[in-house]
Amino acid sequence: MSDRPSPLADPHIAFDVSEGRRDIVVLGSTGSIGTQAIDLVLRNPDRFRVTALAASGGRIGLLAEQAHRLKVRTVAVAREDAVGELKEALKALYGPEQLPEILAGPEAATQLAASPCHTVLNGITGSIGLAPTLAALEAGRTLALANKESLIVGGPLVKALAKPGQIIPVDSEHAALFQALAAGTRADVRKLVVTASGGPFRGRTRADLEGVTREDALAHPTWAMGPVITVNSSTLVNKGLEVIEAHLLYDIPFDRIEVVVHPQSYVHSMVEFTDGSTLAQATPPDMRGPIAIGIGWPERVPDAAPAFDWSKASTWEFFPLDNEAFPAVNLARHVGELGGTAPAVFNAANEECVDAFLAGKLPFNGIMDTVTAVVTEHGRPTRGTSLTVSDVLEAETWARARARELAAKAIAEARA
């Protein structure tokens, strides 16, 4: 899309496809992205081989099964207290065979991200994915990025390390933009149009959202995702993060990135060009397509995901976004324009508020009310392009603590 080599995703970058089968490291292997990526790899053993897996440690049985089936050389688990259980699960599957190497602790995924391979798929949820993202880039690996938070909170750090074409986006929206942008140069682009399903509460007013429950928020109409991402989709925080991500990936100003509601989730995003034409990338909702782009580009993986049956009638709808009921997108634009530590504060405060909501300690509308209060209190960041990892961690620590304080205060006032 660029008239010069982009430091991030650029569909015009030439790739070397002569290496044959690609070695892949999967971070977050037991999550939604990780399990679908492994399904794709197992269906294409001539194209891909998984050499290492990393997971948090919440699903040890599944992690052991994945390691055994894929015959990986290394397994990493973030929870050190899960190592014993992991060893026992592996022994039960491997028998007399030699067990894979086991890494444990909060830095284990970061170690794997720098290990020998062609591509690192970062499917970790949350800003804890920043360190593995930086490690993969520094080691020269191609980064298939599903962990949008690492780009959000550490944008300048990530862009400083990334070489031309080194990051391939795995979000369905950014994989769609990536493909559509191949049709023109940066000068040809008028705007990016990011689509949103609208989540389970599309069409509701702010007042309608007062009493929604955890179960209501987790009932996404089109996508099957983890609980945090599903709640983010219901508040449209996820879409706000994607707007920041699109700005960072493609160097398009915020005022030229639009969000529209598309309930069917068939069109994953669009690019409007200066001649009036719009290119849309469309498939039925299935993350295996974007994952295949992330780990296989510039080659396409046959039958990675289902295609449309054009012999059947269907209706595709588009609606403007209700910014009053769902203020997350505009708030995300604001923190994205501020830059520095503001996006990290926004993301960290939201993660804390989502945890509180899922635990029944914060009402649904309280999520964005609290995040807005934390962002406002943080104010304008003092460090622009000189951002460091320490700055990000310090800002996140403050934002999480302040979000917890404000959430507890709101609950106490509501009960008084």
- Looking at 158, 174, 190, the residue that finishes a domain is 174
What CATH number does the domain containing 39 carry? 3.40.50.720
In a domain, 1, yes or no: no
Residues 195 and 337 in one domain: yes
70 and 205 share one domain: no
Residue 13: inside a domain: no
Residue 51, helix vs strand vs coil: strand
The domain total for the chain is 2
Q: Are 265 and 285 in contact (CB under 8 A)?
A: yes
Beta bridge partners of 145: 122, 169
Q: Is residue 168 part of a domain?
A: yes
Residue 160 and residue 179 share a domain: no
Angstrom distance (rounded) from CA 368 to CA 154: 22
Same domain, 79 and 227: no
The pLDDT value recorded for residue 178 is 95
| 61: number of Cβ within 10 Å | 13
Contact 198, 235 (CB under 8 A): no
179 and 168 within one domain: no
Are residue 182 and residue 144 in the same domain, yes or no? no
As a whole number of angstroms, the distance between CA 332 and CA 342 comes to 9
Per-10-residue mean pLDDT for the chain, 416 residues long? 50 60 96 96 97 96 97 96 96 93 96 96 92 97 94 93 94 95 92 93 89 82 74 92 95 96 96 97 95 96 95 95 94 94 95 93 93 91 72 94 92 74
3 lies in some domain: no
218 located within any domain: yes
Q: Residue 111 belongs to what H/E stretch?
A: helix 108-113
Residue 207, in any domain of the structure = yes
Together in a domain, 84 and 112: yes
This prediction's pTM: 0.89
In a domain, 4, yes or no: no
Q: Which domain holds residue 57?
A: 22-174
Q: Is 209 left (phi over 0), alpha (psi -120 to 50) or beta?
A: alpha
What is the CATH number for 336?
Answer: 1.10.1740.10
Do 257 and 247 have their domain in common? Answer: yes
Instruction: Give the domain-ending residue among 114, 143, 174.
Output: 174
Q: In which residue are the tokens 């020269």 written? A: 140
- Total residues found in the chain within this entry: 416
Same domain? For 356 and 368 the reply is yes
pLDDT for the residue numbered 227: 82
Boundary-marking domain end, from 108, 141, 174: 174
In this structure, the answer to whether residues 111 and 183 fall within a common structural domain is no
Tell me whether residue 16 is in a domain: no
Check whether residue 292 and residue 376 sit in a common domain.
Answer: yes
